[in-house]
Structure 1
């Protein structure tokens, strides 16, 4: 992607986490993200489209920020993978105009959502 195509788009998301290895295992197992470590306090993740990072340089702040919403072709299979990885489902699947989604908490308590158009 060129700089022109990136103008005004979300470019990076960063999570303060308690344990980088645990976060890499969780998100890698469930969503297949890849990682590049930049020292012991930072690891970049990529989902193949958007990059972000896990850092231990600040306190974990799981509440009060924007809601990160991921897409899944198969909502039920994704929920099952999350539950197997230890995620807590905090809002069961519900329908909304355009699809369905559910919310979960990751190992550090961050609430995220997964949606599907099916």
Structure 2
């Protein structure tokens, strides 16, 4: 995720990050910069992260599909959160992995919606 703003308090298991698929990341960056003033950080040609006033997120290369936005929650204890997701009936679809901002995992809920959980 993006660098933590010292004024922003991370809350355990809060919705904090949203990922979009974009067919043209440059166009998406221009649109959201002009529309909402989002600031972007590029992580290669296929991913850019944004910082907004109340939520952060990113755009990854891909064909946009309705329902393809990824909700990412923050966890102060990713292993415990993963165990609770499994215990509640969630299915892990991407086990815990490292990325430039920390680590995360993806899961589907009982309705098939995919979400992710990240930790520093």
TM-score w.r.t. the length of structure 2 is 0.47
Name the structure, 1 or 2, with higher relative contact order (CA <8 Å, separation 6+): 2
TM-score w.r.t. the length of structure 1 is 0.47
